[in-house]
Structure 1
Amino acid sequence: MKLFKSTYQSIAFILLSFIVLSSCKKESENQAKVEKTAVIIKISGADTQVETNNKKSLSMQDQNQFTVFNFDADHRVLATLSSQKGEDMKVNPRALSQNPKAATAIRTPLFSGTSYYIAVYKTSGEYVLHQQYIYAPGQDPKIDLSPGTYTFISVASGTNTLPNINFNQPLSQVDFSVSDASTDVMYFKQDMTVQVGVQNNLDVVLRHLFTQVVLTINTAQIGDVVSIGAASISPNLSSATISMQDGSLSYPSTAAVAAKSFTFTNTTGQSIVSNPIYIFPSNTTTGSVTIANFQIGTIAKPLTFSNLTLTDGIKYNLDFRLLAVGINIGYEVWSAGNLIYDTNQGRYGFTLSDNDYGNYWFYNHLLPKKLDGTNQGPDALINGGPGDPCAKVLPEGTWRLPSENDVDQLLTHTGPNGVDNPHNVNTWDPARFVDYFDGAGSGTNLGMFFGTQNNPGVRRHDYLYFVYAGAYHNENTQGPTIGHEGNYLLTGTSGGYREFHMTGASGDIGYGASIGQADEFSAYQIRCVKN
């Protein structure tokens, strides 16, 4: 009887132990399930950094890099290297420590099919996991993680050439090498706390790490490019090392330095734009661009732009504009376009074509009228102090406002018996002709040619042409003169200011050209004359 009782107690104990152990196991399994929660990966696109200057005292002219040099006796080159504008600050920490500029960013969508890594580390730097994904719009992969705070890192490539990375080590020790900037490596890092019971979205905005450059050549003011030789930019190092800790770039001492070539979709015409290229410039301040055997008309020579500051990870536009030095008529050299002021770059210059409207200027003010409704009349706070804005065109002091005498001389020399009248239609009319710049029906602007009795056709850029941009006569909205009359500012023979006024319809001989008194509250176009 005792034996039976003892056996019964043993069985009961075993069963109870089994139940307790099973319960603990289930509780442990349930607890493990609860402790894992999903992190949803959402790719928002890729940013390209652009430079802005932290020093507010510096003008936009200081931020952009430019130079003006002669191409030949009749033409000059304006070369500008500028960072593209954008929003949302994304900073390359090492680049900024070496270059006193901040960076903002231009965001673009990631291409469908782009491969990318997601790596997860504890905030202490301890490795947790990594996965490779292929991006498709609307498809958001998930990672299961226990609650806690993690460091998330993503790496992608614009050419789908993902680098080889040994993720499985402390984050501070992870770096990788890239031997070609064209792979366009992108990077993202963010700390995030993963919580149970909420939707954990990781918004990934990748950042292009390498410098991108686009080269543009514009010759609209002087004609078509005949041919262009090899174009390249330097320096471009052969390799770079990227830190996973912060996405910063460093360069091995063994990296070779060379130039990188641009490729073009077209090599003739008036606008030539390269394909974007990526380079490793190593935050240089001695960058250089060379275009070999650049030919326009019968003139062929190289173009060079040196001593450029090129910052890692920034997107640049490199622009070469060929401009006519001026148009020689009436014993004066007139600017090849109307006067403009670039508020972004803080620089004075001329329109690229005679057909284009310039800014509107009140007399004896250095800055143009604002056309936003806040600048009806002249205001020193808006339009600057007294002076001649033509004199501000680089090189400063080269140009000036035309005088009343200059226009009198122009009208005389293009008159029926003038020395600048070719009499190419008849012997009795002046050499002044009203027409649309590219001819009737072309959609270009109306104005008056000087030095010809008809529309000169393909040689239109060789002639002085005053576009009928009109004027703002104490008004904030466009009045009846704009598009129908020419109103240009002059200095007066006896002091003060005068107006050169032109009228006429398409096809008219240019008899409607006269000089009158300028009005203090009117804003005019300006066509400068060379000193």
Structure 2
Amino acid sequence: MISQFYQKSKGKVMMAVVAFLCLTSYSCKETQDSIVSGDTVVKVNLLGVATPASSNGAKTKAGAASHQQDVQVSSVPFAKGSTLTATLTTDAPANQANGLRAGTSRAAAAASTGTFNLANGVKYAVLVYDSNGDFVSTKEFNAEETNTEIALNAGTYTFIAYSTNETSVPSVEGVGSLSTASLKDISADLMYFKGELEVKPGVTNTLNVTLKHQYSQITTKIFVAEGTIGTIGQIVAPTITPSHASASLTFADNKIVYNGEANQNVAVAFPGFTPGSLVATSTPTLLIHDELLKGATLTFGTLEIGGVVNNNFSFDKLNIVPGQRYNLNLEYKVCTGEVVTSGMNWNFPIYGNPGDGAVIRNFIVNDVFQVGPFNAANGSIISSEITAPAADYGFVFNIYSLDNSFNMNVNGVNIANQELQFEVFEAGLGTAQTIGFTDGTRHGAGGIPQVWAKGMEGNYTTQTNPLIQVNIDQAGYVTVFGRKSADGELLPMKMLDNKPFNNVNWKGGAESNSVKITQRVDNATGIQGFGKGLKKGACKN
């Protein structure tokens, strides 16, 4: 009896043990399966791109290196009486977070200020290595992408992120191990991040990524100073030197190895530049160098501003920090005194119906002075002559209101072969439009107001905010600028037949200039403006 009871009890105990072991085994298996399947997720949070908070060697008054706003200024004579001043400043956002880090949302909040954003469509890659340095996973994302999750087992990982500011990313050599992984011979805009993160199950794991520029960038801007007459005529073969051709980066030690000698002349590109512009801005120029560069040189094969041509013109001793972004502004200015003309100020109303003409009083019509009121038919030419004083550096005619066309004869030469007609008329009510903006837009079309529209006029009394500007440099080169909106900037214009404006014989020294303003009557007709020029004067600085 006892034996039977023992046997039954033994059987029940064995069944309980087996059941316990099965449950334990299933639980273990479920946990293992869960880990292997990568149910733990890391969300990549791209905060932006940072630049180093390093000084270029400039000193503060206390003698310490300035880490906030390094500014280098240098002025070089461009021609007799004119200078080109270079100002090099760092292009780092305020409150830029120092260093690169991965971690919690608090770190994200700290790092989210003071970074540049990657443009939409730019790709970056994220690689994952385990605690042994073995490769685990990699993913590529677009900068604007929000679905940036990576499935991983729980554990501690090293994360590598990189981009070359392009729509694709270069492949990694020796990717299988952190000790051998590297990016080879990179000549594009390399940005890099490395950080560790402990990935925990059951929580949101966020990897905050702040990429860091590894190469320097310089954006060059050439512009004519306010109050200086002249435009930019030529920008030929600009380069910055020195630079390496490329570099390689190893993930294990974050070391950059620069390839070849630092003897490369890097071309500076000014896309969209057209002769006769007041401003020319380059795309960022990439410099690849291994330490503070105390002698970068910007050289122009040819640079023409204000009718003055300089060959092999250069700025040297530019101090450049690796990985930093810079703005290099080149301001052209002449040492002058101002001379002015009498004003242009007349406005004649329409008579009859649109297409008939304008009522003219005390003015020259078709070369005959009419006391008026005189009904001048559409197509009549009204004119006024002024004397422009001698101006060594050219002349600017600022027009503050216009209805609706004009031409200008300077010392016997018209600035254009036909009337500069800014208005778009209905069929049969006026002459065809002849001038527009160099980007293909025009007044009276595509949302741009007619040139005479209310609100488009500048202030004739205070001589501010010109609507149209005719610029004649010292060599007689003519350019025309106009506004597209009430508070817009002056933008370059061109004749719609694509013929250039005529060069005129502009006089400096002691000689004055004869200027004749003409307007073709097309309904209401008028103009308000002043002319001013620059003569040689003493430099204040």
Partner residue of 1:154 out of 157, 161, 164 = 161
1:158-197 to structure 2, matched below 5 A, reads 158-159=165-166, 160-169=168-177, 171=178, 173-174=179-180, 176-182=182-188, 184-197=189-202
For 1:67, the aligned partner's letter is S
Partner residue of 1:291 out of 276, 293, 300 = 300
- Alpha-carbon distance change, 115 to 438 in structure 1, aligned in 2, over 3 angstroms: same
For 2:123, the aligned partner's letter is T
Partner residue of 2:47 out of 41, 44, 56 = 44
Q: Aligned pair 1:302/2:317, yes or no? A: no
Deviations 1:433-467 (A, max 9, x none): xxx97232363786589xxxxx99534999xxxxx
Q: C-alpha displacement at 1:185, in angstroms?
A: 2.2
Q: Aligned pair 1:70/2:80, yes or no? A: no
Cα RMSD (Å) of the superposition?
4.6
| 8 Å Cα contact 1:116-1:157 kept in structure 2 | no
The secondary structure found in structure 2 opposite 1:133 is strand
Greater CA deviation, 68-77 or 111-120?
Answer: 111-120
Equivalent in the alignment of 2:263? 257
For 1:202, the aligned partner's letter is L
Equivalent in the alignment of 2:117? 108
Partner residue of 1:439 out of 381, 388, 399 = 399
| 8 Å Cα contact 2:398-2:531 kept in structure 1 | no
For 1:304, the aligned partner's letter is S
Cα distance in 2, alignment partners of residues 456 and 7 from structure 1: 112
Matched residues, percent identical? 19
| 8 Å Cα contact 1:223-1:461 kept in structure 2 | yes
Cα distance in 2, alignment partners of residues 298 and 132 from structure 1: 54
Deviations 1:193-233 (A, max 9, x none): 32333211112222222212212111253311222211111
The secondary structure found in structure 2 opposite 1:23 is helix
| 8 Å Cα contact 1:37-1:144 kept in structure 2 | yes
Q: Aligned pair 1:232/2:235, yes or no? A: no
The secondary structure found in structure 2 opposite 1:24 is helix
Deviations 1:442-496 (A, max 9, x none): 63786589xxxxx99534999xxxxxxxxxxxxxxxxxxxxxxxxxxxxxxxxxx
When the two structures are superposed, what TM-score results if normalisation uses the length of structure 1? 0.55
1:469-480 to structure 2, matched below 5 A, reads none
Equivalent in the alignment of 1:312? 322
Q: C-alpha displacement at 1:79, in angstroms?
A: 1.3
For 1:214, the aligned partner's letter is T
Equivalent in the alignment of 1:393? none
| 8 Å Cα contact 2:335-2:539 kept in structure 1 | no
Equivalent in the alignment of 1:402? none
Cα distance in 1, alignment partners of residues 327 and 459 from structure 2: 28
- Alpha-carbon distance change, 86 to 444 in structure 1, aligned in 2, over 3 angstroms: farther
Cα distance in 1, alignment partners of residues 313 and 85 from structure 2: 11
Cα distance in 2, alignment partners of residues 209 and 74 from structure 1: 41
For 2:197, the aligned partner's letter is M
Q: C-alpha displacement at 1:116, in angstroms?
A: 1.0
| 8 Å Cα contact 1:42-1:202 kept in structure 2 | yes
Deviations 1:134-178 (A, max 9, x none): 3352212232221x4433221223122324232332x4x345244
- Alpha-carbon distance change, 256 to 324 in structure 1, aligned in 2, over 3 angstroms: closer
Structure of greater relative contact order (alpha carbons < 8 Å, 6+ residues apart): 2
Cα distance in 2, alignment partners of residues 319 and 185 from structure 1: 25
| 8 Å Cα contact 1:187-1:209 kept in structure 2 | yes
Cα distance in 2, alignment partners of residues 155 and 115 from structure 1: 6
The secondary structure found in structure 1 opposite 2:269 is coil
Equivalent in the alignment of 1:134? 141
The secondary structure found in structure 1 opposite 2:191 is strand
For 1:443, the aligned partner's letter is G
The secondary structure found in structure 1 opposite 2:41 is strand
Q: C-alpha displacement at 1:121, in angstroms?
A: 3.6
When the two structures are superposed, what TM-score results if normalisation uses the length of structure 2? 0.54
Cα distance in 2, alignment partners of residues 50 and 187 from structure 1: 16
Deviations 1:265-288 (A, max 9, x none): 114211111122322022221211
Cα distance in 2, alignment partners of residues 133 and 529 from structure 1: 57
For 1:224, the aligned partner's letter is T
Cα distance in 2, alignment partners of residues 447 and 90 from structure 1: 48
Unaligned runs of 5+ in 1: 93-103, 331-423, 450-454, 463-505, 511-526
Unaligned runs of 5+ in 2: 101-112, 341-384, 402-456, 476-527
Q: C-alpha displacement at 1:264, in angstroms?
A: 1.6
Equivalent in the alignment of 2:210? 205
Equivalent in the alignment of 1:30? 30
For 2:187, the aligned partner's letter is A
- Alpha-carbon distance change, 456 to 11 in structure 1, aligned in 2, over 3 angstroms: closer
